Amino acid sequence: MAYKCVVLIKQVPDTKRVTGDVMNDDGTVKRSALPAIFNPEDLNALETALEIKDRFGGHITVITMGLPGAAAILRESLYRGADDAILVTDRRCAASDTLATSYILSCAVKKLDYDIVLCGRQAIDGDTAQVGPQLAEKLGITQITYVEQLIELSSKTITAQRNIGNGWQQVKAELPVLLTVVGDANEPRVAAARKMMKYKKASTPIEVSEQIKAENPKADEAEIAELLELRAKALEEKGLLIKQWDLDSLEADLAWCGMSGSPTKVHRIQSVVLAAKESKDIHPTPDGIADMIHELIEEKTIA
């Protein structure tokens, strides 16, 4: 039996590369100074979906909510074997916390037909690991978090192994389910050259209209709109149009989106400054070490 998978992916700043010059003086992060990457564990979620498709057949849709530039990770997913890609983008999504994010994503997923929804365990910028479970609740489906291995899929049930910290747990559930996948689950495949050739030109309507504007600097709104419709249609026929949804097309309740839909607010952000403490330089000599050990014994740090 073939399975329909939906994979939620996020474009994130590469927080592993944060250095001093990436921080603003007020403690906020200059996001633009960091390369934007495919959230690592979302690649594991996509790989799990691809393995399901390889074995059982089926269809994979990837969805991301983000700025127009997030189309880059949608293309990367197509290069790896996803069938369909959707960009949810809308200024009114800005400042969404995890509750609002999961609400908006749930509106998008509900428009699709699915058996298995896959998320990464955690995004490396917000670092909350909350969106997966919240999305499962909003969809009203069973969640299996921390999945490290898919054991079995048979008609309408799934068996998976969860990483429970100091061990594992195997659980079985009826479809549909939402899985959050950990980094140890698999080795994500690299992009396939043939697919890269095919999908290199896959674009969102925003990208197409940017292109039209660059090529026809003098064109007015109406002309651009007309050209856009033509080109989008041509791309769609070739399966190269990345769908682009805004909150209106999702029929989302704006009260639950963006700033107003987010109960958590940031009171303050500080960059981590390494505390300078009272400290002593110890000479790496027998005397220096002996003095230090003596002091530690005197103050009863060492028994």
Partner 1 sequence: MIDVNRKGEVWVFAEQHGGKIEDTPLELMSKARRLADTLGVKLAAAVLGDRIKPLAKKLVRHGADKVYLAEHPLLGQYQTNSYAKVMYDLIHKHEPQIVLYGATIAGRDLAPRIASATKAGLTADCTDLQIGDHTTAKDKKVHKNLLFQIRPAFGGNIVATIINLDRWPQMATVREGVMPMPDADTSRKGKIIEEMVELTREYLPLDIIDEHKRPKKVDLKAARIIVAGGAGVGSRDNFQLVWDLANCLGGAPAATRAAVDLGFIDHDHQVGQTGTTVRPSLYVAVGISGAIQHQAGMAQSQKIVAVNNDPDAPIFQVAHYKILGDLNDVVPLMIKTIKEKGIQE
Ligand X SMILES: Cc1cc2nc3c(=O)[nH]c(=O)nc-3n(C[C@H](O)[C@H](O)[C@H](O)COP(=O)(O)OP(=O)(O)OC[C@H]3O[C@@H](n4cnc5c(N)ncnc54)[C@H](O)[C@@H]3O)c2cc1C
State the residues that interact with ligand X by CB under 6 A. 8-10, 16, 39, 41-42, 45, 64-66, 96-99, 101, 105, 119-120, 122-123, 125-132, 264
- Span 93-122, contacts to partner 1 by CB under 8 A: 97-99, 102
Non-local (6+) Cβ contacts of 154 within 8 A are: none
With CB under 8 A as the rule, give the number of residues binding partner 1: 80
Pick from 33, 40, 112, 128 the residue near partner 1 by CB under 8 A.
128
CB of 140 to ligand X, least distance (A): 18
Residue closer to partner 1, measured from CB, 155 or 301 = 301
Pick from 95, 130, 198, 240 the residue near partner 1 by CB under 8 A.
130
In angstroms, the CA 153 to CA 55 distance is: 10
Please state, as a whole number, how many other Cβ atoms lie within 10 Å of the Cβ of residue 246: 14
Residue closer to ligand X, measured from CB, 60 or 227 = 60
CB of 76 to ligand X, least distance (A): 14
In angstroms, the CA 143 to CA 267 distance is: 31
155 contacts partner 1 (rule: CB under 8 A): no
- Span 251-270, contacts to partner 1 by CB under 8 A: 262-270
Binding partner of 225, given partner 1, ligand X, none, CB within 5-8 angstroms per partner class: none
Residue carrying structure tokens 């800005």 = 94
Please state, as a whole number, how many other Cβ atoms lie within 10 Å of the Cβ of residue 76: 21
In angstroms, the CA 107 to CA 252 distance is: 6
- Angle, vertex CA 155, rays to CA 152 and CA 157, nearest 5: 55
- Span 26-65, contacts to partner 1 by CB under 8 A: 27-29
Binding partner of 145, given ligand X, partner 1, none, CB within 5-8 angstroms per partner class: partner 1
Residue whose CB is nearest to ligand X in the complex, by number: 126
Pick from 57, 69, 239, 288 the residue near partner 1 by CB under 8 A.
288
Binding partner of 302, given partner 1, ligand X, none, CB within 5-8 angstroms per partner class: partner 1
Structure tokens of 7? 């994979």
CB of 6 to partner 1, least distance (A): 18
In angstroms, the CA 299 to CA 23 distance is: 39
First to last CA, the chain: 66
Structure tokens of 32? 């633009």
89 contacts partner 1 (rule: CB under 8 A): no
- Span 170-189, contacts to partner 1 by CB under 8 A: 170-174
- The continuous run of DSSP H or E covering 47 comes out as helix 40-56
In angstroms, the CA 216 to CA 260 distance is: 39
Structure tokens of 91? 């200024």
CA dihedral 168, 170, 171, 176 (to 10 degrees): 90
Q: Given the rule CB under 8 A, which of 22-30, 40-48, 56-64, 78-86 is the region that contacts partner 1?
A: 22-30
Binding partner of 246, given partner 1, ligand X, none, CB within 5-8 angstroms per partner class: none
CB of 250 to ligand X, least distance (A): 13
Binding partner of 39, given partner 1, ligand X, none, CB within 5-8 angstroms per partner class: ligand X
Strand 36-38, strand 58-65: pairing:
unpaired
